[in-house]
Every structure is written in C-alpha cells, then in structure tokens.
C-alpha cells in the first residue's frame, strides 16, 4: 500500500466515513420505523430493512470511495497514470527532464552564489545595523588609525566603532614557522560584533593601556583544530608571532570569521601591538590601512550617520590639512574587502539574468516538446473527448504529466547544483589566502529551485493545452487534422524556437567575447615578463629581523640565489606589480611648499627594488640608468619612474635629472625611465609608478624575482635549499610568476568559465530545440514529402521545403542574438580585459559556431527527409 | 416487477434519481427509494444501499447538491436537490433513454 493511499485512508476514516455512516444509518432506521408502523415485529422489521438495503458495510465503503476519489487517492492515480504515460515515451520524458535539469541546475548554482555573496546577512547579532565606513574614492577607501580614533570619539550616530586589517605573519610553533593570516583589530572588535568565545576569553577595550600593552591572540576555530589539534589546554600558552611572544587567551566560535565574506583569518590580535610584530603605521594619519565599521544607533538612519561623519571629516580636514584634506565618509554594507563585491554585483546580477535566460531557453524547449507531444496525441485526445471525457479531466492528466516531469527535472537539477555548490565551498581559489567560498545551498535556495521547477513545468507544459481546448474532435479524428489551425500553431512554436536561438547566440557571443578578452589579457603588455620567472615571497619581520639585518639578508639572498645553476638574473621588489600588496603616494612638483593632498597633480604607485630587479623582471629601461650600489642612504635620493609618471609630471619634457617631491617633503631625482605596466588590475588605464632603490627605501617585505633558463621544477628545489641555509625558520611562498597572477586573472577566469558554461548549456538547448523542430516537421510531412518524391521532386527542393523554416529561424535568431551580445559586451568590458565584440574572431566564431550547431541539429532530420521511399511510405499510410 | 441490476445500467439508476428529485424537489436517500417504488406502482425496486454511491458520484459531477436537515419524524438525514447542471443532465438522460427504449422495442418487434 502506497504512502498516499494510507494518508487517504486515515483521512477518510475520520470525518468522511462518519458522514457516510450516519447517512446510511438514518436510511435503515427510517425503514425500520416504517416497517414497525406497518405492524411488523421488531425482529422482522430489522430483517426486512437489511434485505432491502444490501450489505451496509459494502455500501458504505463504496460510497466513501466515491468521495475520496476526488482527494489524495485520485492524485496518486493521476500520478501513476502520468508515470505510465511517460514510461511509454521515454525519449520524450528524458529529453524534457534533462532540459529542465540543465535550466534549473544553472539557476540554483547562480542563485546559491548570489545568495551567499549578496543576499545572506552576516552571521553576527544586529547585522543590519553594521556598516563599513569607507573613504570616498574607490581603491583608496581604507582609513588611518588616528582618523579612526577621531571618528569614534566625535560621532554621535554610532553606538560603537571598531577597526581591523588583515595581514600575513609568521607564527613559530617549536622550530617551525608558519605563514598565517591574522586580523589586527581594535580591542573593542569582539564586543562590537557581539561575539562570545567558544572558550577562554576575548580581549576587550579594558585590556588596552597604550601601545604594545596587550600581547594576546585569539585563535579561530579552524586554526585551533589544524595547528593545535583542538587542544583546549592551549589557552594560556605562549606562541611567537614574528619572533615575539604572545599569549593565547581564547578560541572563537566555529562560525565566527569577522565581517568579510569568504575570508577566514587564522587568529586575531590587538592592532595596538603592531610594533611587537615589527610594524609602525598606526600613529600616521596618512597611513590608510584599516577597515572601519560601526554599529548604528537604532534610531539613526545611514543617511544621518553619513552626514554626521562628513561634518567630522570637515573638522579633521581643518585640523590636519596635510593629511585629511580630502577626507570624507560613505557607508556601505560589509562585504568583501570594503565594497569590492559591489564592483562584482552588476556582473553577478548579469550572470543571474543569463541563468534566467538559460532557464527560459530550457522552458521554450519544454514548451515545444509538449506542443509536439500534444499534437502527436491529438487524435487520442480527440477520441477521449468524443467518448465523454471532460476537458477538465484531460487537462488534469496533462497537468500531472507536466508536474511529474518538472519535479523529476527540478530534483535532478537541484541535486547537481548542490553537488557543484558543495565542491565550490571546498575550493580555495588562492591557496595563499584564507579565502573559503562558503556557498552551501540553504533553505532559500531549495525553495527557489522548487518554485522555478514547478512554475516552468506548469506554465510551459500547459501552453499547448490551448490546442486541446480549442480542438474540434470530429475534425481531428478524420485525420486531415488541423489544416485550418496549423499555420497559427506552428507560428507559436516557431516563436519559441526563435527566442531560443536568439538566447543561444547571445550567450555564445558573450562567452566568446570573454574568452578572447581572457586570451588578450594573457598576452597584454604587463610591463614585465612573467615567463620563466619564479617568485619567492616572504616578510623578514616574520622571524624578527630588524631593518638593518633585513638589508644584509636581502643582499645575501641576491648573491647566493644568483649562483644557482640556470638562474640568469635575480632581483628583489617589496611587492610585485599585479600582486596583492603595493601602496600609492601623492606626488608633488618641484618647488611645492603646500603638501595638502588636493595640491598634488597625481597619485603614483611606489615600489622598492634592488638594482637588478628590472633585468630579472624583464622590464625595459627606456632611458637613463638603473640603480647601482652607490644609491645608498648617503647618496642623494633617486627614483626610476614609468612613462605615464613622466607624462603626468612633465608632459613631453626630458625627464632624466628632473626632480619631484613626496609627502615626506623629500626631493627625488629621476635617474631612469621604464616602460608602463599593469599594477593593480589588467583592465586598468595606464597609471603612474615609481621605483625606489631598496638601499634608500628599505623594507622587510621581500619578493625574490628569479629568472632562470631552466624549467621552474628544476629551479625551485635548489632555491628552497639556498634560502633555507640563510634562515631556516623563514617561511616562503614560492610559485611561478604565472601562478602568482591568478589573483588578477581571477575575475576574468570566473567570467570566462561562467559564460562558457552558460554558452555550452545554451548551445545544447538550441541543438535539441532545432533538432526537435526539424525532426517533427519532417515526420509530420513524411507523407506529403513522399508524394512529392513520387512526383519527381529533386532532393534539393525536398530539403528546402522540409528545412526552410529551421534554417531561416537559425539565421535570423543568430543575427539578433549577436546584436544583443554586442550590446551586452559593454557590461563585460568592466570585468574582462579588452572585451570587445568588434573582433573578427568573435563574430566569425559566433557565425561559425551557430552554423555548426544548426548543421549538427538538422543532420539527422535531413537524412530522414532524403531517404524517403515513396512506395513504402504510401503503402504504410 | 423489474428488479434493477446492481451496477449495470448505471445510467438508468441515475435517470430515476434525477427524475425523482425533479418531481419532488428535495429528498433524502430513503425518500428517493420510496418515491421510485411508489411512482412506478411498485414495479421498480432499487437495492436501496446502492443508491448512495450513485448519489455521491452525481454530487461530485455537480448534478446534485446536498445538506443535512431534520425530517418530520425528528431524525437527521441528508437531503439532495437538483442543480442546474443536474436539470440539463436529466433532459439528456431522458432523451437517450427514450432512444434506448425505442431501439430495444424496435428490436423486439423485428420479425
């Protein structure tokens, strides 16, 4: 007994059966009463009543069955019948369910990501009142610590405000040092977020008594498990951070990872301890390196808070004209590094739209499948109508088929999507960074999936019902079918297919544009040549080296690495261009005395490099000289700049020997000019960059740029040995420069992958759509075609009449889709480097691709049309 | 006397019920049984219990409407009434029955 009929039984045994029993009992009692009145004995009266009535139990059951038939039981029957019908045409069922699966699956994945990245609230209390306070312009939007303290002190709209920054650090456990990611936070951080420790304790504002007063760290749950074997005894223990002792005071709960999406730091320490780990930035008002967020008072709107903060910004600008001249504030919802995700939002939404389009394409496919099926069954349906089946009954049955298919397809799609999302959550796109793309599907995702499946199944499965509704059974049965309405019905199916082809060619265009952009960006002039280069990146602070020691060690590294066999050049830069570090500074013209930011003509990226860096990196020196060992602290300050820097500072004048100033009021002489390059992203406009000699601008951030004539697998082992000899505890990240570029290529890679996947889906759907239509049109007209062959029609004429419509649709749809694709590419250009559809490769690719799809899809129907054997055909029909 | 078969000639039983309700307005199941018996001069007698599945089915089809009421003898019983669809159904059923009778009669008189 199926679960459904059990449910039906429990249901019917209650109210329904009672009703029936009461009705039958009344009947029998009335008969007995009448019999008694007619003079029978009670015994006779009961016997007679019983005889006339028949078996009351059987009658009761039968009556109740009539009532329940409208309820669950009949639904089960409908479903069984539908399943049987579908089993009889497995090709139809599989095609329909697969089609739906693709559409639903794509949507669930995209919605899952969208949900995780944008829709899901932060997992902290009062998340809706948390706002990040950013500096006005993009890219330069973090805050300095003194400004943070002033914001916090003077505002009247936030109940609390905290700050944090994330950086790598060396943690020594025993004799090994690990590179870890730590959030340096204001001491009130955990209290503002309303978090409580899993055990141990958190640090609070009350622990803070001036700089370096709270050498405590709080471990994240994941780090505690992976590095301390989940040992609760760790609380109270001492660990070394950059060779300085810190006490572990607690472990954060499993869910807690701060307020940045996808970022899971290893532990937290008070920012005021920065000097203990070798940093010294908090006291500088010009040093913008903190993210600030606050919790709004409950009666304050974000608007009021922004006004409040901006009036403070104006005060600060008056008090500190040199540094806070252009200070301003805007509030954003916490996301991924400020509002980095906001930049990706249009793209995510666009992808959602694309996914919806894929679903629409799947649905149009579904609709034409159902339409074809209904047309094939029109005779059966007509007969059933004629013998008295109600139209509602037929509708109900087709409805059950549509629902069954949509549930199967939807379930399959959702399962695939859940698997995909699951593997996405396991994925760490940048091994080096503590990023987990936590996009597990939640209830909301599943509800959306179910709703999508049922809606699309129902709406598009039932569209063809209009045929049944309006068909004249007598006409249909006579077999010359619906010559009258054929024109209109086919027009509707044509429209569906046309829409589908447009969508497909749009998606193919978009993915080709992205693919080409990707290819361009790999060949773009970067201002350096990553080919054959291995990077070894570290921070000498991690093992507690002082600045002077750092310079010595760097020199030793350069000398010893250069002797590794196969190494042709080696240089040092603090942060590689297109890496994740790097800083900017305002630049001033020679003779300036006003060092307010607003007086600066432009902002430039700056780097510290060893003399040999440009050779090792493959950056061309266009004029002047490279640095030498003589450019040390005792020599005049010098710099090498790029072409854009020259152009912005001096226009067309000869740059060598000219001077400029920086906010430290020092004068720098330009001794060399190098080619332009990309520094932050591949899609950026040319920007100014300047390079200092390492000897004049020492830094502990050290990236060895090792150019070798040998493959990297042969260079890396001796490189590791050599560096290990210099400082065995120092952790290095060693990778080829190509791999290190993964971060900047990431958006373009994702865009290409997503668009490619969508394009493939759309292409598959279009192929099945065109195939279905061509096949159907050939099979419907087999007889007519057969007669024409018999009358001597040429093959070409035959093909033309059978396939004219699909081909016209294909050509028209492709053209429209390409136009839409061209329009959509402007959006793509924000993400993908050099994305332009006006590229012969792209246009040719789309036309070629669509033609191939069309040919592929019409191949079998064409063969079928050409192989018509008129004599056999006419005999059979 | 014609004993009505239990399940066959379903249409005939439905016709009898519809006609009874058309003639008498509102009746409970027992009332319908009595009416068929009386109005047919005791010639037709339905198995009373089999009325009920038919009544319920006809209600599902929208030909009848039902409701619980108290009888003259102060008993609770379910009363049935024709709907508009039921009226129409009755006309069709009467016609097809006439035809059936005509056909059967013609067959019987075939020499």
pLDDT in tens, A231-287: 888 888 888 888 888 999 999 998 888 888 778 889 999 998 888 887 778 888 877
pLDDT over threshold 60, residue A473: no
How far is the C-alpha of A67 from the C-alpha of A257, rounded, in Å? 58
Q: Touching check for A855 and chain B: CB below 8 Å?
A: no
- Is B60's CB within 8 Å of A69's CB? yes
pLDDT over threshold 80, residue A438: no
Predicted local confidence at residue A7, as pLDDT:
46
- Structural contact between residues A49 and A28, judged by C-beta atoms closer than 8 angstroms: yes
- Is B75's CB within 8 Å of A66's CB? no
Residue in B48, B60, B77 closest to A52 by CB: B48
- Length of chain B equals 111
pTM exceeds 0.80, yes or no: no
For an interface test with A, the pick among B5, B11, B30, B45 (most A C-beta atoms closer than 10 Å) comes out as B30
Confidence class for position A688, pLDDT limits 50, 70, 90: very high
% of chain A with per-residue pLDDT over 70: 87
Confidence class for position A336, pLDDT limits 50, 70, 90: low
**Helices A443-462 and A340-376 meet at what angle, rounded to 10?**
30
Confidence class for position A371, pLDDT limits 50, 70, 90: confident
> How far off is chain A from B85, nearest CA to CA, in Å?
14
- Is A26's CB within 8 Å of B49's CB? no
- Structural contact between residues A187 and A208, judged by C-beta atoms closer than 8 angstroms: yes
B51-91 per-position pLDDT tens digit: 998 898 888 888 899 989 888 888 889 999 999 989 998 99
Average pLDDT, chain A: 81
- Is A52's CB within 8 Å of B52's CB? no
Residue of A nearest to B78 (CA): A23
Residue of B nearest to A48 (CA): B48
Q: Which residue has the tokens 């053209």?
A: A815
Strand ranges for A563-620 from DSSP E:
567-573, 583-589, 602-609
Distances (CA, A) of A269 to A169, A190, A618, B14: 11, 11, 39, 87
A301: its two tokens: 């709107």
Predicted local confidence at residue A11, as pLDDT:
47
For an interface test with B, the pick among A48, A63, A69, A70 (most B C-beta atoms closer than 10 Å) comes out as A63
Of A133-147, A484-498, A663-677, A684-698, the one with minimum mean pLDDT is A484-498
Residue in B49, B56, B78 closest to A56 by CB: B49
Predicted local confidence at residue A567, as pLDDT:
92
Q: Comparing A677 with A77, which gets the higher pLDDT?
A: A677
User: What average pLDDT does the segment A660-674 reach?
Assistant: 90
A54: its two tokens: 């028949």
- Structural contact between residues A336 and A264, judged by C-beta atoms closer than 8 angstroms: no
Confidence class for position A471, pLDDT limits 50, 70, 90: low
Give A669-707 as a DSSP string: EEEEEE----SS-TTPPP--EEEEETTTS--SEEEEEEE
Predicted local confidence at residue B80, as pLDDT:
94
Q: Touching check for A52 and chain B: CB below 8 Å?
A: yes
Predicted local confidence at residue A706, as pLDDT:
94
Predicted local confidence at residue A472, as pLDDT:
60
Predicted local confidence at residue B28, as pLDDT:
92
User: What average pLDDT does the segment A714-719 reach?
Assistant: 89
- Using CB atoms and an 8 Å cut-off, which of residues 7-46 of chain A contact chain B? 19-20, 22-24, 26-27, 29-31, 33
CA A340 to chain centre: 13
User: What average pLDDT does the segment A800-825 reach?
Assistant: 81
For an interface test with B, the pick among A30, A71, A396 (most B C-beta atoms closer than 10 Å) comes out as A30
Q: Comparing A466 with A738, which gets the higher pLDDT?
A: A738
A512-558 per-position pLDDT tens digit: 887 787 777 767 788 899 888 999 988 887 777 777 788 888 999 99
Confidence class for position A468, pLDDT limits 50, 70, 90: low
Residue in A23, A52, A56 closest to B78 by CB: A23
- Is A27's CB within 8 Å of B30's CB? yes
Q: Touching check for B7 and chain A: CB below 8 Å?
A: no
User: What average pLDDT does the segment A360-386 reach?
Assistant: 76
- Is B49's CB within 8 Å of A33's CB? no
A606-624 per-position pLDDT tens digit: 999 999 999 999 999 998 8
CB-based contacts of A9, cutoff 8 Å, min separation 6: none
Residue of A nearest to B28 (CA): A27
Of A71-75, A730-734, B93-97, the one with minimum mean pLDDT is A71-75
Predicted local confidence at residue A484, as pLDDT:
41
Residue in B50, B60, B76 closest to A26 by CB: B76
User: What average pLDDT does the segment A289-296 reach?
Assistant: 88
Predicted local confidence at residue A260, as pLDDT:
81
DSSP H or E run through B70 = strand B64-70
User: What average pLDDT does the segment A657-679 reach?
Assistant: 90
Predicted local confidence at residue A134, as pLDDT:
85
- Is A23's CB within 8 Å of B29's CB? yes
Q: Which residue has the tokens 């790999």?
A: A522
Q: Touching check for A383 and chain B: CB below 8 Å?
A: no
Predicted local confidence at residue A251, as pLDDT:
93
């Amino acid at each position: 007994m199926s679960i459904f009929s059990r449910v039906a039984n429990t249901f019917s045994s209650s109210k329904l059966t009672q009703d029936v029993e009461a009705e039958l009992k009344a009947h029998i009692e009335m008969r007995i009463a009448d019999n008694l009145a007619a003079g029978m004995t009670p015994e006779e009266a009961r016997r007679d009543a019983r005889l006339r009535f028949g078996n009351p139990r059987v009658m009761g059951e039968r009556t109740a069955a009539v009532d329940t038939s409208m309820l669950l039981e009949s639904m089960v029957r409908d479903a069984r019948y539908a399943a049987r019908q579908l089993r009889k045409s497995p090709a139809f069922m599989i095609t329909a369910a697969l089609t739906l699966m693709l559409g639903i699956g794509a949507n669930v994945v995209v919605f899952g990501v969208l949900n995780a990245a944008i829709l899901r609230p932060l997992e902290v209390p009062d998340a809706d009142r948390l706002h990040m306070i950013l500096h006005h312009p993009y890219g330069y939007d973090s805050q300095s610590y003194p400004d943070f303290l002033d914001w916090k002190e003077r505002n009247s709209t936030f109940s609390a405000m905290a700050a944090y920054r994330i950086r790598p650090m060396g943690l020594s456990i025993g004799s090994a040092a690990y590179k870890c990611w730590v959030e340096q936070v204001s001491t009130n951080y955990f209290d503002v977020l309303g978090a409580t420790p899993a055990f141990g304790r958190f640090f609070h504002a009350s622990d803070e008594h001036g700089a370096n007063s709270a050498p405590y760290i709080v471990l994240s749950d994941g780090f505690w498990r992976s590095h301390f074997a989940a040992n609760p005894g760790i609380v109270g223990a001492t660990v070394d951070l950059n060779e300085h002792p810190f006490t572990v005071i607690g472990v954060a709960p499993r869910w807690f990872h701060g307020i940045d999406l996808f970022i899971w730091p290893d532990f937290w320490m008070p920012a005021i301890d920065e000097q203990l780990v070798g940093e010294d930035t908090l006291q500088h008002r010009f040093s913008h390196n903190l993210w600030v967020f606050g919790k709004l008072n409950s009666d304050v709107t974000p608007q009021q808070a922004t006004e409040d903060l901006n009036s403070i910004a104006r005060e600060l600008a008056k008090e500190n004209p040199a540094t806070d001249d252009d200070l301003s504030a805007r509030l954003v919802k916490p996301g991924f590094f400020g509002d980095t995700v906001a930049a990706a939002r249009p793209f995510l939404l666009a992808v959602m739209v694309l996914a919806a389009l894929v679903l629409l394409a799947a649905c149009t496919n579904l609709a034409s499948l159902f339409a074809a099926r209904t047309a094939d069954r029109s005779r059966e349906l007509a007969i059933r109508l004629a013998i008295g089946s109600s139209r509602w009954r037929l509708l109900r049955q087709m409805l059950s088929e549509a629902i069954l298919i949509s549930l199967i397809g939807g379930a399959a799609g959702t399962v695939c999507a859940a698997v995909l999302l699951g593997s996405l959550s396991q994925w760490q796109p940048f091994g080096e960074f503590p990023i987990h793309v936590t996009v597990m599907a939640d209830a909301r995702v599943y509800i959306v999936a179910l709703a999508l499946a049922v809606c699309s199944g129902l709406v598009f499965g039932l569209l063809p019902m209009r045929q049944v509704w309006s068909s004249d059974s007598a006409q249909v049965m006579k077999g010359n079918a619906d010559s009258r309405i054929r024109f209109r019905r086919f027009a509707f199916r044509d429209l569906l297919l046309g829409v589908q082809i447009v969508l497909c060619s749009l998606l193919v265009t978009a993915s080709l544009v992205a693919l080409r952009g990707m290819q361009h960006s790999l060949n773009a002039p970067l201002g350096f040549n990553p080919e054959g280069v291995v990077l070894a990146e570290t921070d000498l602070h991690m093992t507690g080296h002082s600045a002077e020691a750092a310079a010595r060690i760097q020199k030793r590294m350069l000398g010893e690495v250069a002797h590794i066999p196969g190494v042709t050049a080696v240089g040092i830069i603090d942060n590689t261009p297109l890496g994740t570090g790097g800083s900017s500074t305002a630049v001033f013209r020679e003779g300036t005395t006003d060092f307010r930011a607003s007086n600066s003509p432009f902002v430039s990226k700056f780097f510290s490099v060893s003399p040999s860096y440009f050779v090792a990196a493959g950056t061309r020196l266009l004029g002047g000289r490279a640095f030498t060992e003589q450019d040390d602290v005792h020599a005049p300050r010098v710099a090498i700049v790029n072409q854009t820097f020259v152009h912005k500072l001096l226009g067309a004048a000869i740059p060598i020997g000219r001077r400029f100033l920086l906010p430290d009021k020092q004068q720098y002489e330009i001794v060399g000019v190098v080619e332009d390059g990309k520094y932050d992203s591949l899609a950026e406009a040319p920007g100014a960059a300047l390079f200092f000699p390492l000897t004049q601008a020492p830094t502990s951030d050290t990236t060895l740029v090792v150019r070798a004539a040998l493959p990297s697998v042969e260079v890396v082992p001796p490189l590791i040995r050599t560096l290990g000899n210099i400082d065995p505890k120092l952790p290095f990240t060693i990778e080829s420069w190509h791999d290190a570029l993964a971060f900047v290529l990431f958006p373009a890679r994702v865009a290409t992958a997503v668009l490619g996947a969508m394009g493939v889906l759309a292409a598959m759907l279009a192929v099945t759509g065109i195939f279905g239509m061509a096949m159907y049109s050939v099979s419907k007209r087999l007889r007519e075609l057969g007669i024409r062959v018999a009358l001597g029609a040429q093959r070409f004429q035959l093909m033309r009449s059978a396939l004219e419509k699909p081909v016209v649709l294909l050509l028209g749809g492709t053209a429209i889709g390409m136009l839409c694709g061209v329009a959509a590419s402007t959006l793509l250009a924000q993400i993908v480097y050099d994305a332009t559809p006006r590229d012969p490769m792209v246009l040719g690719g789309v036309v070629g691709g669509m033609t191939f799809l069309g040919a592929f899809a019409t191949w079998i129907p064409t063969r079928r049309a050409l192989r018509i054997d008129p004599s056999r055909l006419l005999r059979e029909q | 006397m014609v004993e009505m078969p239990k399940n066959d000639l379903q249409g005939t039983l439905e016709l009898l019920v519809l006609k009874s309700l058309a003639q008498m307005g509102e009746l409970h199941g027992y009332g319908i049984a009595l009416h068929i018996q009386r109005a047919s001069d005791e010639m037709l007698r339905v198995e009373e219990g089999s009325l009920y599945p038919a009544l319920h089915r006809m209600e599902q089809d929208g030909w009848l409407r039902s409701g619980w009421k108290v009888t003259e003898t102060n008993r609770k019983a379910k009363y049935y009434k024709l709907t508009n669809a039921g009226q129409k159904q009755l006309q069709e059923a009467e016609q097809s029955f006439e035809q059936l009778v005509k056909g059967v009669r013609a067959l019987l008189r075939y020499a």
